[in-house]
Amino acid sequence: MYKSNLTVLTQISQLIDKNIVNSEIRKYQANKHSKGFPLWNQLMCMIYSQLSNAQSLRDITYGISSTAGNIHHLGIRRLPKRSTLSYANKHRNWEVFRDIYQSMFHKMQHQLPKQRMKFRIKSKIYMFDSSLISLSLKVFDWAKFRQRKGALKLHTLLDYQGAMPEYIHMTEGKVGDVTFARSLLLPKDSVVVADRGYYDFQLMKQWNKQKVRFVVRIRNDMVYKVIKENPTKDESILKDQIIIPTGARGKEYKGRLRRVEVLDKENDKKIILLTNERKNWTAETISKLYKARWEIELFFKDVKQHLKIKSFVGTTPNAVLIQIWTAMITLLLLKYLKTKAKFGWHLSNLVSFIRVTLFAHINLYDWLNEPIFVQIRSGPEKYQLTLF
């Protein structure tokens, strides 16, 4: 039942639409001066490094080389050398990997796991946040954060429906969230949900001007004037007000906003939200939108725990970005497999299973639908029934 002529890694690689890859290769001329190491080979090596948790370039090349009889199934004609992979990571344009991911995501997003919390909002919903990744300043001298500490910051715009990033931008760790957010143009009529790091009236004014609806958590020290008190029905909604921000910073907005106070019963604390949507949403919808922001925290947790994004096999910004985007491609493939499987996999278990069976000749979908450990658990019970 489980046997296959192809390895698990090969079957996963077949999920990648080669038409998308070839289109991006032509767009960037990514195979020009490739020295016999085309982009597809590099992509397979980097996906292998993510799935196998390879710690270095040597681990990647040795791992691929150990299955020399099967690499032609991956579309690789020549075994990779460590120096060749290092050169490609350093010099090949990282943007081609970003565009491959984005094209794949737009094609596969409707087949990804559905979110439990649904909204009657036709606009695209985004979660905006950033995450720090600590680095050694001696090795990554360009990733400045503090005097003796290096870090890079991943500014992420997460598509809520697919729980995968629509956009990622890497900066030095010392770059502020608001500083970057002001430089990003969001799609018109979209919805963006953000935490207190984006509490900035100039930024909210910019979003409002771009016809973007926002929900931002704010601090208790905001100075404002109440224009109207809306009635509340839900016990968790303490206040629903139409206000005008005052004070030195608040005057920068120059308009009315909606202030909603929400009681977080689990943590016994008050959350204050600010939005420019004053009529079409209920206070409960605004509260649920902010609660849904937790998806971006789960995304960062999944990436850091299950993929190689805290340690890097290259030290240049280009090599780091290639590794980040190939991690996104790998996570997209894993979530796609999780959705297709009939068995209810946890992402951590799925990653562990694939990691130890990358070069096994088993049918991937048969195994995903009915793992062997399920048969082992159910076997003795059935056998016991036949005895009596």
Residue 67 CA to chain centroid, in angstroms?
A: 31
Percentage of the chain modeled with pLDDT above 70: 95
| Structural contact between residues 345 and 318, judged by C-beta atoms closer than 8 angstroms | no
How does pLDDT run across 38-95, given as a tens digit for each residue? 999 999 999 999 999 999 999 999 998 887 667 788 888 888 899 999 999 999 999 9
187, pLDDT greater than 70: yes
The conformation of residue 74, written as its DSSP 8-state character, comes to G
380, pLDDT greater than 60: no
Going by pLDDT thresholds of 50, 70 and 90, the confidence category of residue 35 is: confident
Identify the pLDDT of residue 374.
61
Identify the pLDDT of residue 68.
62
383, pLDDT greater than 50: no
Identify the pLDDT of residue 2.
65
The conformation of residue 274, written as its DSSP 8-state character, comes to E
Identify the pLDDT of residue 116.
73
| Structural contact between residues 326 and 40, judged by C-beta atoms closer than 8 angstroms | no
Identify the pLDDT of residue 211.
96
Identify the pLDDT of residue 375.
55
Q: Measuring CA to CA, which residue among 134, 89, 93, 108 is closest to residue 320? A: 89
| Structural contact between residues 312 and 144, judged by C-beta atoms closer than 8 angstroms | no
With a CB cutoff of 8 Å and minimum separation 6, the contacts of 255 are: 205, 208, 244, 276
157, pLDDT greater than 50: yes
Percentage of the chain modeled with pLDDT above 90: 74
Distance CA 36, CA 26 (A): 16
Distance CA 62, CA 164 (A): 31
| Structural contact between residues 163 and 113, judged by C-beta atoms closer than 8 angstroms | yes
277, pLDDT greater than 90: yes
Q: Specify burial of residue 70 (Cβ count, 10 A radius: 0-12, 13-18, 19+).
A: middle
Taking residues 272-294, report their average pLDDT: 95
CA distances from residue 18 to 58, 88, 218, 318, 377 in whole angstroms, order as listed? 27, 20, 45, 23, 39
The conformation of residue 251, written as its DSSP 8-state character, comes to T
CA distances from residue 54 to 9, 58, 121, 129, 239 in whole angstroms, order as listed? 14, 9, 42, 28, 52
Buried/exposed code over 72-93 (b: 16+ C-beta within 10 A; e: otherwise): ebbbbeeebeeebbbebbeebb
The pTM of this model reads: 0.91
Residue 42 amino acid letter: Q
Identify the pLDDT of residue 376.
53
| Structural contact between residues 14 and 73, judged by C-beta atoms closer than 8 angstroms | no
Going by pLDDT thresholds of 50, 70 and 90, the confidence category of residue 114 is: confident
How does pLDDT run across 121-130, given as a tens digit for each residue? 989 999 999 9
Continuous segment of H or E residues that includes residue 272: strand 269-275
284 strand-pairing partners: none
Residue with tokens 């003796």: 148
Helices (H) and strands (E) in the chain, counts: 15, 9
Identify the pLDDT of residue 118.
85
Identify the pLDDT of residue 388.
45
Identify the pLDDT of residue 106.
94
Q: What is the mean pLDDT of the chain?
A: 91
Identify the pLDDT of residue 173.
92
